Amino acid sequence: MKAASENLVPVTLELGGKSPAIVGKGSVHDRTVSAIVWGKLLSGGQTCIAPDYALVHNSEINTFVESYDRLVQAAYPEGPTSKDYTSIVNDQQYSMLIDLIDDARAHGARIIEVGHRPGDATRRPHTLAPTIVLDVTDKMKIAHEEIFGPILPILSYSNIEDAIAYVNARPRPLALYYFGEDADRRKVLDRTTSGNVTINGTIMHVAQDDLPFGGVGTSGIGAYHGIEGFRRLSHAKGVYEQRRWNTIKLFSAPFGTLTERILNVLLR
Give the residue numbers annotated as catalytic, written as ranges. 14, 48
Question: Is-contact 81 44, C-beta < 8 A?
Answer: no
Task: Give residues with Cβ within 8 angstroms of 67, minimum separation 6.
Answer: 28, 29, 30, 33
3-state secondary structure the chain: CHHHHCCCCCCCEECCCCCEEEECCCCCCHHHHHHHHHHHHHHHHCCCCCCCEEEEECCCHHHHHHHHHHHHHHHCCCHHHCCCCCCCCCHHHHHHHHHHHHHHHHCCCEEEECCCCHHHHHHCCCCCCCEEEECCCCCCHHHCCCCCCCEEEEEEECCHHHHHHHHHCCCCCCEEEEECCHHHHHHHHHHCCCCEEEECCCCHHHHCCCCCECCCHHHEECCECHHHHHHHCCCCCCCCCCCCCCHHHHHCCCCCHHHHHHHHHHCC
Query: Residue 89 corresponds to which amino acid?
Result: V
